[in-house]
């Protein structure tokens, strides 16, 4: 049973949500007390999150079982709904004050099982990244889903000592500029900046006109700009430190990673990863869309096109995506960072040399649902089967 905000269909699209708990569709009464549903899709190692806020003035909301599975779909009556994610309940809290009583349910997409948090002492030798991740996944009863670009990266030697599996994987992900995290029953590994899923499927590019937005901010950060990255490793034959250099594609000083890496391959990968991370941090900001985009995902390419001034218009990377559904409608907030190839930063630098700004002369095509939802006042809704 889905819930439709019938009173907010003036723009031609009627917001819609559907929630299941442990595979069962919630009843219409659940939606009648739903104050807000917020879903946050994170890039990097952070777990994706779901927050449900409910009106419990009559103390009728029952607590779901611990670690209940919650599934969420969002979209529009006219175009259908899309699955946003599956989450595991972490906390259930009750709050009361002079304004009334509420229940808040917090859930995470990552299933941080006991084994994955436990300590380990082992080493990996003459193998590859795919094998390392697969071995850890299998002993934690997770199915490995590893992007092809990560699988074959060689590992000469890698020690796993006195750290949890999740901490070990986080450090490995940082060295590879990858995302390695549990999602449901899978251990997913993808390169950052590829705008693709672990299976290699390309994420949809989010094209945005300024008229699609209700607010936004973009801030260049020239102080974070570096030209090169130096990493190192200890040559096992000579015992000497060997330096590897990586280019960011930008102008600036050299950034040095002081801790040596276990091997030449990992030193090179760490240098490339740091170069990308530093480049991402040269610009950041956000845009909030009046009409939510269920297809928007963290790590996807974002194009700011029609209506944006030249020093803002261009391509970015989605660092996080937050969907919000309440009686005011369905909105999407996208946190942005510069692209890893330096194209965002170079364009900003070029435009900053010009006098003043003007609207982008070559508008990008926006996605089909670009009419804004009227977000003033409350909305009435109905449950549909």
My answer on whether 8 and 91 are in the same domain is yes
Is the residue at 311 inside a domain? no
How many angstroms separate the CA atoms of 172 and 289, rounded?
A: 35
DSSP for residue 260: P
**One domain, residues 7 and 106:** yes
Domain contains 334:
no
Over 60: is that where the pLDDT of 112 sits? no
pTM exceeds 0.85 for this model: no
190: in domain: no
Q: What is the pLDDT of residues 350-380, one digit of tens each?
A: 776 664 544 444 333 333 343 333 333 334 5
Contact 178, 190 (CB under 8 A): yes
Interval 335-351: pLDDT, tens: 999 998 878 877 777 77
Least Cα distance to 90 among 67, 73, 111, 70 occurs for 67
One domain, residues 8 and 105: yes
Total tally of structural domains belonging to the chain: 3
Q: Please say which residue of 231, 265, 280 terminates a domain.
A: 280
Q: What is the pLDDT of residue 116?
A: 59
**Helices first, then strands: H and E counts in the chain:** 7, 23
Q: What is the average pLDDT across 259-267?
A: 90
The token pair at 122 is: 């082992």
Residue 16 to residues 81, 114, 382, Cα–Cα distance (Å)? 7, 36, 9
Parent domain of 138: 114-183
Given this model, what pLDDT does residue 362 score?
38
């Amino acid at each position: 049973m889905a819930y439709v905000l019938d009173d907010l269909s003036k723009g031609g699209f009627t917001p819609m949500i559907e929630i299941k708990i442990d595979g069962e569709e919630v009843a219409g009464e659940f939606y009648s007390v739903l104050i807000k549903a917020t879903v946050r899709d994170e890039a990097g190692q952070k777990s994706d999150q779901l927050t449900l806020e409910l009106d419990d003035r009559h103390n009728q909301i029952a607590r779901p079982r611990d670690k209940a599975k919650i599934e969420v779909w969002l979209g529009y009556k006219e175009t259908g709904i899309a699955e946003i994610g599956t989450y595991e309940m972490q906390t259930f809290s009750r709050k009361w004050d002079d304004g009334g009583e509420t229940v808040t349910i917090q859930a995470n997409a990552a299933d941080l099982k006991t084994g994955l948090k436990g300590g380990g002492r082992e080493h990996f030798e003459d193998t590859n990244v795919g094998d390392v991740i697969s071995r850890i996944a299998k002993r934690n009863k997770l199915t490995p889903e590893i992007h092809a670009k990560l699988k074959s990266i060689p590992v000469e030697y890698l020690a796993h000592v006195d750290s949890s599996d999740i901490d070990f994987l986080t450090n490995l992900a940082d060295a590879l500029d990858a995302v390695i995290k549990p999602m449901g029953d899978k251990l997913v590994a993808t390169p950052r900046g590829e705008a693709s899923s672990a299976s290699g499927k390309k994420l949809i590019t989010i094209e945005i006109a300024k008229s699609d937005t209700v607010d936004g901010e973009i801030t260049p950060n020239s102080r974070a700009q570096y030209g090169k990255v130096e990493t190192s490793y200890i040559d096992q034959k000579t015992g000497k430190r060997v330096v590897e250099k990586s280019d960011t594609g930008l102008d600036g000083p050299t950034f040095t990673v002081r801790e040596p890496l276990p091997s030449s391959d990992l030193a090179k990968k760490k240098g490339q990863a740091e170069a990308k991370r530093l480049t991402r941090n040269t610009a950041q900001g956000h845009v909030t869309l009046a009409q939510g985009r269920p297809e928007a995902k963290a790590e996807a390419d974002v194009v700011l096109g029609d209506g944006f001034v030249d020093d803002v218009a261009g391509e970015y990377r989605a660092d996080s995506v937050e969907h919000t559904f309440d009686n005011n409608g369905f909105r999407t907030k996208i946190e942005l960072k510069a692209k890893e190839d330096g194209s965002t930063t170079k364009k900003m630098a070029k435009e900053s040399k010009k006098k003043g700004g003007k609207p982008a002369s070559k508008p990008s095509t926006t996605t089909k649902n670009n009419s804004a939802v009227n977000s003033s006042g409350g909305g009435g809704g109905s449950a549909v089967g």
